[in-house]
Amino acid sequence: MDLESLRDYTLSFKQVTEGFPFDNDTLVFKVAGKMFLLVALESEPLRCNFKHRPEDGIQYREEYASVIEGYHMHSKHWSTIRLDGEVSIDQLKEWIKNSYDLVVSGMPKYKQKEIKGDD
């Protein structure tokens, strides 16, 4: 998946913003101010950090060589994936969506309702 496709897909979720809170090389996607995806723009191939349930991260890292412990993140809850083609675009999209959903589910109920109610 190229950067533009990744951005288009990620920005299609409700209340998602993008920015560079750390440096000019790390694009961060947030939902209602909470991070759920980070993209290392200067890496070749692109690398992304995404959030997951602890048991899922173990499985992903066992199954795919391109998935490693989250770079500069708590590896129990985050993994880094090299977008080198090993993981299908559909699988990557599922992981991004799951990361978004996981972050939203950790928000207060009123915030979840506000996000989901934007239909």
* Domain residue limits at 19: 3-116
Provide the domain count of the chain.
1
Mean pLDDT on 102-113: 95
What tokens were used for 107? Answer: 């928000």
Q: Report residue 86's pLDDT band, with 50, 70 and 90 as the boundaries.
A: very high
Q: Per-residue pLDDT for 14 more than 90?
A: yes
pLDDT tens-digit series, residues 37-56: 999 999 999 999 999 999 99
pTM of the predicted protein model: 0.92
Q: What is the CATH number of the domain that holds 11?
A: 3.90.1150.30
